[in-house]
Amino acid sequence: MKKTVTIKKNYEFKQAFSKGKFYGGTYIHMYIYMNKLNYNKIGIAVQKKTGKAVKRNRVKRLIRENYKNYEKDIKTGYNILIILNKNKNIDEINFYNIKEDFFNIFKKSNIFN
Protein backbone atom coordinates (compact mmCIF):
# COMPACT_ATOMS: atom_id res chain seq x y z
CA MET A 1 0.00 0.00 0.00
CA LYS A 2 1.42 3.38 -0.93
CA LYS A 3 1.71 6.12 1.64
CA THR A 4 -0.35 9.27 1.15
CA VAL A 5 1.77 12.42 0.88
CA THR A 6 0.49 15.21 3.11
CA ILE A 7 0.70 18.98 3.00
CA LYS A 8 2.68 20.11 6.03
CA LYS A 9 4.05 23.56 5.27
CA ASN A 10 2.05 26.68 6.07
CA TYR A 11 2.79 28.24 2.68
CA GLU A 12 1.33 25.19 0.93
CA PHE A 13 -1.92 25.59 2.89
CA LYS A 14 -2.02 29.31 2.07
CA GLN A 15 -1.34 28.60 -1.60
CA ALA A 16 -4.22 26.12 -1.74
CA PHE A 17 -6.54 28.63 -0.04
CA SER A 18 -5.61 31.53 -2.30
CA LYS A 19 -5.11 29.86 -5.69
CA GLY A 20 -7.14 26.68 -5.32
CA LYS A 21 -10.64 26.19 -6.68
CA PHE A 22 -13.32 25.79 -4.00
CA TYR A 23 -15.79 22.90 -4.02
CA GLY A 24 -18.40 22.63 -1.28
CA GLY A 25 -20.13 19.58 0.07
CA THR A 26 -22.50 18.87 2.94
CA TYR A 27 -19.90 17.78 5.49
CA ILE A 28 -16.58 18.74 3.89
CA HIS A 29 -15.24 21.47 1.63
CA MET A 30 -12.25 21.16 -0.70
CA TYR A 31 -9.73 23.47 -2.29
CA ILE A 32 -8.09 21.80 -5.28
CA TYR A 33 -4.93 23.30 -6.76
CA MET A 34 -2.64 21.89 -9.46
CA ASN A 35 0.99 21.24 -8.57
CA LYS A 36 3.95 20.36 -10.77
CA LEU A 37 4.50 16.93 -9.21
CA ASN A 38 3.41 13.55 -10.50
CA TYR A 39 1.55 12.69 -7.28
CA ASN A 40 -1.18 14.22 -5.14
CA LYS A 41 -0.70 15.92 -1.80
CA ILE A 42 -3.49 16.06 0.75
CA GLY A 43 -4.07 18.46 3.63
CA ILE A 44 -6.76 18.15 6.28
CA ALA A 45 -7.96 21.03 8.44
CA VAL A 46 -10.40 20.71 11.35
CA GLN A 47 -11.08 23.70 13.59
CA LYS A 48 -10.62 23.49 17.34
CA LYS A 49 -14.14 24.85 17.78
CA THR A 50 -15.65 21.66 16.41
CA GLY A 51 -14.72 19.52 19.41
CA LYS A 52 -12.02 18.11 21.58
CA ALA A 53 -8.93 16.39 20.19
CA VAL A 54 -10.41 12.88 20.26
CA LYS A 55 -13.33 13.88 18.02
CA ARG A 56 -11.16 15.98 15.70
CA ASN A 57 -8.69 13.12 15.22
CA ARG A 58 -11.55 10.69 14.57
CA VAL A 59 -12.85 12.91 11.77
CA LYS A 60 -9.35 13.26 10.32
CA ARG A 61 -8.99 9.46 10.29
CA LEU A 62 -12.35 9.12 8.51
CA ILE A 63 -11.31 11.70 5.90
CA ARG A 64 -7.91 10.06 5.37
CA GLU A 65 -9.45 6.61 4.97
CA ASN A 66 -12.01 7.87 2.45
CA TYR A 67 -9.26 9.58 0.48
CA LYS A 68 -7.28 6.32 0.36
CA ASN A 69 -10.31 4.58 -1.14
CA TYR A 70 -10.51 7.13 -3.98
CA GLU A 71 -6.76 7.74 -4.41
CA LYS A 72 -6.33 5.21 -7.23
CA ASP A 73 -9.26 6.71 -9.19
CA ILE A 74 -8.22 10.36 -9.30
CA LYS A 75 -5.74 12.13 -11.55
CA THR A 76 -2.30 13.01 -10.24
CA GLY A 77 -0.69 16.41 -9.87
CA TYR A 78 -3.03 18.10 -7.39
CA ASN A 79 -2.84 19.61 -3.94
CA ILE A 80 -6.12 18.81 -2.21
CA LEU A 81 -7.05 20.69 0.95
CA ILE A 82 -10.01 19.20 2.82
CA ILE A 83 -11.83 21.26 5.45
CA LEU A 84 -14.57 20.08 7.76
CA ASN A 85 -17.79 22.10 7.52
CA LYS A 86 -18.01 24.04 10.77
CA ASN A 87 -21.82 24.28 10.67
CA LYS A 88 -22.34 20.51 10.98
CA ASN A 89 -22.41 18.64 14.27
CA ILE A 90 -19.27 16.53 14.59
CA ASP A 91 -21.24 13.68 16.19
CA GLU A 92 -23.42 13.27 13.05
CA ILE A 93 -20.45 12.66 10.77
CA ASN A 94 -19.75 9.08 9.77
CA PHE A 95 -17.74 7.24 7.12
CA TYR A 96 -20.57 7.07 4.57
CA ASN A 97 -21.47 10.77 4.75
CA ILE A 98 -17.88 11.72 3.99
CA LYS A 99 -17.67 9.07 1.25
CA GLU A 100 -20.71 10.56 -0.48
CA ASP A 101 -19.25 14.08 -0.23
CA PHE A 102 -15.91 12.89 -1.67
CA PHE A 103 -17.65 11.27 -4.63
CA ASN A 104 -19.79 14.35 -5.37
CA ILE A 105 -16.90 16.81 -5.06
CA PHE A 106 -14.49 14.73 -7.15
CA LYS A 107 -17.20 14.35 -9.79
CA LYS A 108 -17.84 18.12 -9.84
CA SER A 109 -14.15 18.93 -10.09
CA ASN A 110 -13.49 16.49 -12.98
CA ILE A 111 -10.40 14.92 -11.42
CA PHE A 112 -11.61 11.34 -11.75
CA ASN A 113 -9.64 9.25 -14.27
Instruction: Answer for the pair 27, 88: CB distance below 8 angstroms, yes or no.
Output: yes
User: Is the pLDDT score of 113 beyond 60?
Assistant: yes
Which CATH number does 5-109 carry? 3.30.230.10
- Cα dihedral sign, 23-100-62-40: negative
pLDDT tens readout for residues 36-95: 989 999 999 999 988 899 999 999 999 999 999 998 889 999 999 999 998 888 888 999
How far apart are alpha carbons 66 and 17 in whole angstroms? 22
Whole-structure pTM value: 0.90
Residue 2: band (very low, low, confident or very high) from pLDDT cuts 50, 70, 90:
low
Q: Is 62 exposed, middle or buried (0-12, 13-18, 19+ CB in 10 A)?
A: buried
